Amino acid sequence: MEHSLFRPNRRRAIQALGALISAPAIAQPAAQRAGTIKLMVGYAAGGGADVLARLLTQHLSQALDQPVVVDNRPGAGGTLAASALVNAPADGSVLYMAESAVLAAPAIYDKINYDPTTLTAVGALAQIPFTVVVHPDFPARNVAELISVLKANPAKYAYASPGVGNIAHLSAEMFKRAAHVDMLHVPYKGGAPALADLIAGQIPICFVSMPPVLPLAKAQKLRVLGVTTTTRSEIAKDVPTIAETLPGFNAAANSFILAPPKTPADIVTRLNTAFRSVMALPEVQREYAAQGVTVRTGTPQELAAQIRSELKTWDTVARGAGIRASLS
């Protein structure tokens, strides 16, 4: 029979053992205990952003040792997803794979339900180039000739973009300002219909993302004059940058991960480490390169600084071009 003198000690030992067992779980970041992570994408399933996000989730689930699923929130250039992020739990269970368009939106739309500077920067993912293309019969074979044609014919030509406020649209307006030329903007509901009209000869010039352009150029259905990034694309090294004609020109879009406001630093650090490890995988880099996208990662602090810089850039471009639109 156990003496009563030993009972308090046994109770304390059991309590101590319980504390030791539970301590690792308590020390784990909330994101690790939260179960499934939702990675929001501001575009419909099947699009370029969705494809790249689903590639990430395959590897993120392993890196984080928990399920990661894509949550498509299409609409209003990604602003609907950004608005949803504002009220999401700040425990790492909801993230947003955003693009630069959500940073341009505050300067363009009347009512935005989020402040980009209050969203938590997790880390950059990649840089997305856009291209300027023309119909094969257009009298310009490079960017310098395009500028000459436009200067000789002020306001005569129109250009297409995937929509108002899209970074392709803002890239074109930045080009107009840098080159001192004038073109009429014709917005489309996506890059595919814009390219279809260009090929059909309905519109002569288009600013659009790179992946759908290259096979059309190979088939000689259009001509690619330049890319908007400061360096040439790995999958189209023969296509010059606009910066080679207009030094300093840079109008690329960026892809990055955001978390809800006030997400704890330990969760952000863990997520950043996981994303960077996934983006360093050769198979991920190959898949991104095949889409004309350049992997570019960094710290949360570097992304926060990039966001502040882009907000100023796109605000200047949008206001300078008088771009205003309504989300309704």
pLDDT of 5 reads 31
In this prediction, residues 184-211 reach a mean pLDDT of 94
pLDDT of 20 reads 35
Looking at this protein, which amino acid is placed at residue 98? A
Cα–Cα distance for residue pair 43/77, rounded to 1 Å: 8
Looking at this protein, which amino acid is placed at residue 67? P
Contact by Cβ (8 Å): 121, 300: yes
Cα–Cα distance for residue pair 59/65, rounded to 1 Å: 10
pLDDT of 34 reads 52
pLDDT, tens only, 225-250:
999 999 999 889 999 999 999 999 99
Domains of the chain (ranges; CATH) run 30-126+253-321 (3.40.190.150), 130-244 (3.40.190.10)
Backbone φ, ψ for residue 97 (5° rounding): -85, 95
The helix/strand/coil state of 206 is strand
**Cα–Cα distances in angstroms (integers) from residue 247 to residues 5, 100, 175, 250, 316, in the given order:** 85, 22, 11, 9, 19
Look up residue 69 and give its two tokens.
């699923």
pLDDT of 14 reads 35
Least confident piece of the model among 38-52, 87-101, 268-282: 38-52
Closest by CA position to 122, among listed 92, 82, 77, 167: 92
**Cα–Cα distances in angstroms (integers) from residue 296 to residues 72, 279, 290, in the given order:** 23, 8, 15
CA 191 to chain centroid, in Å, comes to: 16
For the whole model, what pTM was predicted? Answer: 0.83
pLDDT of 195 reads 95
Cα–Cα distance for residue pair 55/71, rounded to 1 Å: 13
In this prediction, residues 34-41 reach a mean pLDDT of 90
Cα–Cα distance for residue pair 57/68, rounded to 1 Å: 5
Closest by CA position to 254, among listed 131, 126, 166: 126
Q: Give the residue with greater pLDDT, 44 vs 57.
A: 57
Closest by CA position to 236, among listed 209, 205, 210: 210
Look up residue 160 and give its two tokens.
């297409």
pLDDT, tens only, 287-326:
998 888 899 999 999 999 999 999 999 999 999 999 988 8
Cα–Cα distance for residue pair 225/239, rounded to 1 Å: 7
Contact by Cβ (8 Å): 214, 227: no
